[in-house]
Amino acid sequence: MSGYPEYMQASLEKVKATRPARLEKARKGREVVKTMTLAEREEVLSNFHPDYQPDARKPIRIGPNKGEEMTARVVDLLESYPSIDPDRFDLTRSDYDTDILIIGGGGGGCMAAIQVANAGLNSVLATKLRVGDSNSMMSQGGMQAAVNPHDSPAIHYLDAMGGGHFDNKPELVEALTMDGPMIAGYLEELGVMWDKDSEARLMTAAGGGTSRRRMLSCRDYTGAEIQRVLRDEVKNHPDKITIVEYSPAVELLLDDKGEAAGALLYNMETEEYIVVRARSVIMSTGGYGRLHIKGFATTNHYGATADGLVMAYHAGAKLLYMDSVQFHPTGAVYPEQILGFLITEKVRGLGGQPVNKEGELFVFPLEPRDVEAASFIRESTKRGLGIETPAGRVGVWLDSPLIDLLSGPGTIQTALPAMVRQFKRFGIDITEEPMLVYPTLHYQNGGIEINTDTETTLPGLYAAGEVSGGVHGRNRLMGNSVLDYNVFGYRAGHAAVQRAKALSGRKVKLSLDHVRAFRAELEDAGIPETSHAPILIPEYRNPEVLKKHRKNYDPFIGRFL
Amino acid sequence: MDEKEVEVKAPGPDSQAGPACPDDKPKENLIPVFIYGKRFFVPESFTIITAMEYVGFQFKKAIGCREGFCGACATIYRLEGDYKLRTGLACQTVVEPNMYLVQIPFTPAVKAIYDIAQLKPDISAIQRYYPEMFRCVACNTCTKACPQEIEVMDYIQEIKRGDLAKAADLSFDCIMCGLCAVRCPAEMVQYNIALLARRLTGRYLLPRSTHLEERLTELKKGKFDKTVEELMGLSPDELTKRYTERDLDFKVF
C-alpha cells in the first residue's frame, strides 16, 4: 500500500516508469547525468541558493568583524544585548577551579576532554543538555578519511578546497585531511565499529563533491556510534573530567590580561549562575540550525542556537565566513511530522536519485551540497516540477528503491536502517517508494576563526567543530564535519593542555568587563535593546499561549525577566 | 476528509510559528491527552513533543535531536481503558486520544568505569562489570519496551553465550534511551552492557583493515607531505584548474 496521498500517485507512477532506464544508465557508469561546470554551478547558485538572495546578508555594526557582511539572522543575534548584568556577580569566588573548561558536550568537546584526561589534567565539561546531546549524535552518512589505496589526503584536500569554493584556510584543510586516517584508527581503538567488508576492508562510499569513495560509515548511525563511544570514554574518567549537565555557558570570563580564563554557566534547573575558573577554555558548542535562517526547517539538534559564537564575539574573538549557510539538499518534506528531518546523503551515495514530478532525473545526484540544494529549489520553483504536499509545501522525489535494484535486495535495510525505521513509523516503505525531500538548514559553514592548533584570536580560547570557521570555506562536503570535530577536538585538547601547563600556578582575577564594553558598543552604535543573546533554548511554544503569560516575558532569552 | 482543508496545520518540529490557541479552533481536530496527569487538547497529528509545545511547554530537558537518534525524550504512557504501560520516543510518537504520559529525561542506571585497553573481548568483562546480567529471566519485557524495535532480550542471550560480536550487531541501532533498563525485572542495564559489548567488538573482534594500517605507515613516512604542500602553494587559478581537471574514480578498491 502506498504511504502517499491519492493525488501523488500519478507522479509516483511516472517515477516507477522511468526507473528501469535510469537503473540501466546507473549500472553502466557513474555519470548518470552530466556534472555541472563551475560556470553552471555559479549560475544555479546565484539564482536559487538562499545565501544569494538580496536580503540574505547585511553588514554587522559592532565587534571584531565590524563592517563585514554576514547572514542577516546572525547579525541580529550578534547585535543582541548580553543576557546578564555583569554587576550582579562576585567573581572573586569560583564554584569550579580547573585546568581546562570545555564548553559543549558534543563530539568535539568529548574528544577534547578525553585528550585532556589522558594528559593527566582536570577539566570541567559543561553542556546545555546531557553529554552527547548534539548534532554529532545525529550525523548519519559517514566520516571522510582517505584510506583507500587509490585515494590520498592530497585528493581529499583538493575535493575539500573545491567544495568550499577555495575559501577554506589551506593549513586547516591540510590538518583535516592528513589527520583523517589517524582519527579513523584512533576511533577504532576506542571501539567504534566501522563498516567493513568480507575482506576486512573499511567500506567506503562516495559523497557530494568527492572524487573518490572516502566515506567511512557505521551503517547510517555513524554519528551516534562515534558519539556514544566518546561519551562512554568521557564517563570512564570521573576522576579527571567533571561533567556539568543542563548548564550552558552564557558568557566567557577573562583574566586581567584579557585572556580567556573561564565562563559563567547558567543552571537551567535552579536558575543560578556558576563561576568556572580555568587556564584554557575550549569552545565546542556546535552550530546554529535552530535560528531557522530565512524560515527554513532544520536538521539540527534542539540545542543548536549559536551560543558559542555569541559568547566568543562578546569576548572579542574574530569570526570567519559568517555569510554562508549550508542547506542540506535532502530534508524530509512529507509527512509533516518529520518535516526537516535529515535524509542522509548516503542515500545518493548508494545510488538514490533525485527526480522531479515527471520522473526525470534533473541533476547529477552528487554535486556539492550547495549546488545540489540550489538545483532542487530551481526544480521546485522556477521550473514548477516539484510535488506539492497536503500542507502546501513542495519537494522533489528521492528515488531510494533504486538502491536495492542496483546493489541487491536488502541493501537499503542493511545500509540505511535508521531511514527505513524513520519512514516506517509514518507508513512509508522506502524500499518500495521514494522519499519526498526539500533543502533544509543544516550547517554553519563559518564560525570562530582558528589556526591548526585551534587557537582563536582571543588568547586562551580554543574552538573545535561546527562553532569554528575556516576548515570548510563557504561550503562543507559531506563527512567532513564528523572528521572536523574529531581532528580539531583532538588538537584542541592537546593545545589547551600545553597552555594550562605553562600557566600552572598562576592566579588571575576574573572579569566581565568585556560584557560591559560590548554593551557600551551596542549603545554607541544606537542599536536598541530589543533582544538578548545567547538564546540557549529555541522558542516553539504556541504564541497564543504566550500571549496569556504573565508579563515581562522575554521571548529572546526564553525567560521571565 | 481532504487533508488540505484541515485548519490546524502541524507546525512540525521546526516551525517557528505554532498554530492557533486550542480554544479558538474547532474541537474535532483536537484530542485530549494527559501530560503529567493534567488534561490538554492537542491536534491529533502532532508528535508528543510538538503537542506539548502547542499547549505551552518549553523543554529544558527530555529533549534532544527531535529525529529519533539521541534517546533524550524517552516517554512512558498508558492509553485509556488499558492497563499496559507503553513506551516511545516523544519526538517519534504521534499522540493518541486519552494518552497518559510522562517523560524520563535520563535513567539513573549504573555505568561501569573501565579501561577498554585492559579488557579481554569475552564474557569475563561483562561478568566483572555487570554480573547482574546473569539474573535475566528471559521475560522479553526489554524487547517490548524498545522504541527502536531491537531484539534486546536476544542480544542479552548472545552475550550470555559469549558471542559479543553477535550482540554488538543486534544492538547496533540502540540509542540508549534507557527504557529497557527502566522496565527490566532483573534490574540490569541492557544498553550499557550492549555498549561495552560493541566497544569490545569494535576494538578487538572486528578484523583490522590492512589498508588503514598501510596508509598510517605511509603518513608516518611523510609520503603525502610534498604533494599536499605543493597544492597549498598553488595560485588560486592553478588550484581551480587542478580541481576541475581532477579525475573521478569511484571504484571500490
In angstroms, what separates the C-alpha of A61 from chain B's closest C-alpha? 27
Q: Report the relative pairing of strands B86-89 and B74-79 from DSSP bridges.
A: antiparallel
Q: Answer yes or no: do B253 and A201 touch at CB < 8 A.
A: yes
| Chain B residues within an 8 Å CB radius of A269 | 60-61
Q: Answer yes or no: do B21 and A152 touch at CB < 8 A.
A: no
Interatomic CA distance for residues A175 and A183, integer angstroms: 11
From the candidates A348, A442, A472, A514, give the one annotated as an active-site residue.
A348
Q: Answer yes or no: do B203 and A298 touch at CB < 8 A.
A: no
- Contact residues, B window 155-174, toward A, CB-based 8 Å cutoff: 168, 172-173
| Chain B residues within an 8 Å CB radius of A204 | 252
DSSP one-letter string for B8-56? S---TTT-SS----GGGS-GGGEEEEEETTEEEEEETT-BHHHHHHHTT
C-alpha cell at A277: 575558573
Nearest CB to B21; choose among A135, A190, A545:
A545
Interatomic CA distance for residues A152 and A389, integer angstroms: 44
φ, ψ of residue A507 to 5 degrees: the values are -100, 135
Q: Answer yes or no: do B66 and A302 touch at CB < 8 A.
A: yes
Closest chain B residue to A536, measured at CA: B60
Cβ atoms of A235 and B188 closer than 8 Å:
no
Interatomic CA distance for residues B86 and B68, integer angstroms: 17
Whole-structure pTM value: 0.94
| Chain B residues within an 8 Å CB radius of A298 | 14
Going residue by residue through chain A, which has 561 residues, state the pLDDT in tens, using 9 for 90 and above: 799 999 999 999 999 999 999 999 998 865 688 899 999 999 999 999 999 998 999 999 999 999 999 999 999 999 999 999 999 999 999 999 999 999 999 999 999 999 999 999 999 999 999 999 999 999 998 999 999 999 999 999 999 999 999 999 999 999 999 999 999 999 999 999 999 998 999 999 999 999 999 999 999 999 999 999 999 999 999 999 999 999 999 999 999 999 999 999 999 999 999 999 999 999 999 999 999 999 999 999 999 999 999 999 999 999 999 999 999 999 999 998 888 899 999 999 999 999 999 999 999 999 999 999 999 999 999 999 999 999 899 999 999 999 999 999 999 999 999 999 989 988 999 999 999 999 999 999 999 999 999 999 999 999 999 999 999 999 999 999 999 999 999 999 999 999 999 998 888 899 999 999 999 999 999 999 999 999 999 999 988 888 787 655 555 444 544
Within 13 Å of residue A458, how many CA atoms lie on the same side as its CB? 31
In angstroms, what separates the C-alpha of B184 from chain A's closest C-alpha? 22
Nearest CB to A558; choose among B14, B15, B58:
B58
Active site residue A30: no
Q: Answer yes or no: do B210 and A200 touch at CB < 8 A.
A: yes
Active site residue A348: yes
Q: Is B201 on the interface with A (CB under 8 A)?
A: yes
Nearest CB to A339; choose among B14, B53, B70:
B14
Q: Answer yes or no: do B228 and A392 touch at CB < 8 A.
A: no
The gap from C-alpha A520 to its chain's centroid, in whole angstroms, comes to 32
Q: Answer yes or no: do B10 and A212 touch at CB < 8 A.
A: no
C-alpha to C-alpha distances, A297 to A130, A149, A477, B16, nearest whole angstrom: 24, 40, 20, 9
Interatomic CA distance for residues B182 and B200, integer angstroms: 25
Q: Is B1 on the interface with A (CB under 8 A)?
A: no
ipTM: 0.93
Interatomic CA distance for residues B251 and B253, integer angstroms: 6
Q: Is B234 on the interface with A (CB under 8 A)?
A: no
Q: Answer yes or no: do A211 and B249 touch at CB < 8 A.
A: yes
| CA–CA–CA angle A235, A236, A237 (5° rounding) | 90
Return the axis-axis angle of helices A153-163 and A170-190, rounded to nearest 10°. Answer: 120
